[in-house]
Amino acid sequence: MASQSIFYGLALIVVGAPMLLVAVLGISSLVDRRLNEDTISRSMLATTWIGLVASLAILAVMLVVDTRRVAVPFGNWVAIADSQHHVHYHMFLKVEFDRLSIPFLILSFLLCGTIGSFAGKYMHREPGFNRFYMLYAIFLLGMVTTSIAGTIETLFTGWELVGLSSALLVAFFHERPAPVRNGLRVWTVYRISDAALLMAAVALHHLKGEGNFDVFLGDAPWPEGHTLLTSSQAFWVGMLLLAAAAGKSALVPFSGWLPRAMEGPTPSSAVFYGALSVHLGAFLLLRVSPLLEASPALCIVVLLIGLATALVGTLSARVQTDIKSALSFASLTQVGIIVAEIGGLRLLPGHSPEWVSYVPLVHILGHGCLRTLQFVRAPSLLLDYKELENAIGGRLSTAQASGPRRLSDGLWLWLYRFAFDRGYLDVLLDRCAAAVRSALRRCDAWEHRWISFLSGEELRRSEQVDHMAAPIEELT
């Protein structure tokens, strides 16, 4: 009982600290009383320290009381309970600490704190310093909420916060059109992924009456849960969740947004697309892994998408000409492998050892840390090279990897083009968007003609602008 109170208090701190930071930065922005750089940086650092210490404390208490799973219910956010009319609806707020959420939570605080501190120097005297930290705080809150969510609605809330902050940070240097266009592209993919997640949440509500993970993933601690859904239900709900994960983690066919997201400031690129945000899809698949267990078909789809993503990532990384794009594709390759691990390891025959379930999680943690380091070093890569060359007193070797080429020239060229065009995935999505756009334009033109017929006017005021360069062009 006492330990439950401790968990409750610590959970409040874990969620409350980033929430308070968002409130402080948000209110000061809204009332136009901007805080100075030093105060903002210190607030961010303090928040992440508090959150990190609270997370570690939760881990310590869990070890002391020897429990693998702690659920902390915060009660109903909204509840309609009417037994007279048999109407029951509730949106339950619950967080869970287990072997999946605790490492991800600690990683979130650790990396957000480190990069937040780094950004204090990196963004010094940038005009959007306050905006950067505001969005960064929203991201932190989103990551924390997603990591420890005990219900799918709570997870959805965090998921949306991460998506919004990511898209707006990609468009951070918003006085130029290119980052804005890329931000819009990221947002578009995220909205598709959010729609899939919302549909999954609603489907679960429909099937089980609520979105509590206990109810449909079983109440055993992760990774031992067994879903209560049938194999067919698990497959369809899993497919929706996979679509959500694919959008968030840039899996095939949505991989095209990842290099575009590098338009944002380096600190946010590092923590978002090197470490945390890009792994959220994989995290979601790990969280719902009992669904995968119930549906081998779903595992095969996950495995194939992971492998395809890894293939596109590794090929594309080899033809990039700037370090951030190369790193983003390297990151994508690893994410693809992690997703393939999630799907593939569940297909292993018989009773595989328990540690196998932890392989993707360990992969996420290791990859996140390494990639963050690489990203934050990326802007000084040339300087690093120069220092190395000065140290050794000569040029670094630039020799390309050589060896017998086993592929024909034609195939080699095709592979190069395939890699250069990022697996033609953007082309594919652009064609779909173009078809939709064309149909919408026809509808719009019909409407114009219909209104002109009714009103007897040839040209309306809104038509006196150039329709050739419409905003949806930005999507392509």
Partner 1 sequence: MSQLHFSWLELGILIPLAGWLVVGRLRDAVVARHWCLVFTGAALVCTFAEWQDFQTLKTFEAEDRWQPLAQLFGPDLFVVDELSAPLLPHVALLFFLTTLATLRTKIRRFSFSWTLLSEAILLATFSCKEPWLLIALLALGTLRPYWELRARGKPTRVYTLHMGLYVALLVFGQAFVSLEDDQRVHTLWAIVPLMAAVLVRSGIVPFHCWVTELFEHATFGTALLYVAPLTGAYAAMRLVLPIAPDWVLRGLGLISLVTAVYAAALTLIQTDARRFFALLFLSHSALVLVGLEIVTPIGLTGALCLWLSVGLSLGGFGLMLRALESRHGRISLVEFQGLYEHMPILAICFIITGLASVGFPGTSGFIGTELLVDGAVAAYPYTGVAVVIAAALNGIALVQTYFRLFTGTQYASMISLRLGGRERAAVLTLMALILLGGLAPQFSVSGRYHAALALLKQRGVLSNNTEHVSASEAESLVSPEM
* 459 counts as binding partner 1 under rule CB under 8 A: no
Q: Which helix (H) or strand (E) holds 81?
A: strand 70-82
* 143 counts as binding partner 1 under rule CB under 8 A: no
* Count of residues touching partner 1 (by CB under 8 A): 66
* 202 counts as binding partner 1 under rule CB under 8 A: yes
Residues 341, 411: Cα–Cα separation, whole Å: 29
Other CB atoms closer than 10 Å to residue 177's CB: what's the count? 10
* 472 counts as binding partner 1 under rule CB under 8 A: yes
* 432 counts as binding partner 1 under rule CB under 8 A: no
Q: Is 353 helix (H, G, I), strand (E, B) or coil?
A: coil
Residues 139, 135: Cα–Cα separation, whole Å: 6
Residues 258, 246: Cα–Cα separation, whole Å: 12
Among 63-71, 190-198, 250-258, 280-288, which window interacts with partner 1 (CB under 8 A)? 190-198
Q: Is 218 left (phi over 0), alpha (psi -120 to 50) or beta?
A: left
- ∠ CA(445), CA(448), CA(450), 5° rounding? 110
Q: Is 147 helix (H, G, I), strand (E, B) or coil?
A: helix
* 474 counts as binding partner 1 under rule CB under 8 A: yes
Q: Residue type for 261, please?
A: A
Please name which of 24, 21, 26, 68 lies closest in space to residue 49, comparing C-alpha atoms. 21
Which listed residue (174, 226, 386, 431) binds partner 1 by CB under 8 A? 174
* 436 counts as binding partner 1 under rule CB under 8 A: yes
Output the smallest distance, CB 455 to partner 1, in A: 5
* 444 counts as binding partner 1 under rule CB under 8 A: yes
Cα 324 to its chain centre, rounded Å, is: 18
Of 214 and 474, which has the nearer Cβ to partner 1? 474
Which listed residue (78, 362, 407, 427) binds partner 1 by CB under 8 A? 78
Please name which of 92, 106, 194, 190 lies closest in space to residue 144, comparing C-alpha atoms. 106
Residues 182, 475: Cα–Cα separation, whole Å: 8
* 416 counts as binding partner 1 under rule CB under 8 A: no
* 79 counts as binding partner 1 under rule CB under 8 A: yes
Output the smallest distance, CB 79 to partner 1, in A: 7
Which listed residue (82, 354, 409, 458) binds partner 1 by CB under 8 A? 82
Of 377 and 448, which has the nearer Cβ to partner 1? 448
Question: Which residues 6+ apart lie within 8 Å of 93 measured at CB?
Answer: 73, 74, 75, 76, 77, 151, 154
Contacts with partner 1 by CB under 8 A lie at 29-32, 76-80, 82, 85, 87, 89, 91, 127, 153, 156-157, 160-161, 164, 167, 171, 174-177, 180, 183-184, 187-188, 191-192, 194-195, 198-199, 202-203, 205-206, 436-437, 440-441, 443-444, 447, 450-451, 454-457, 460-462, 465-467, 469-472, 474
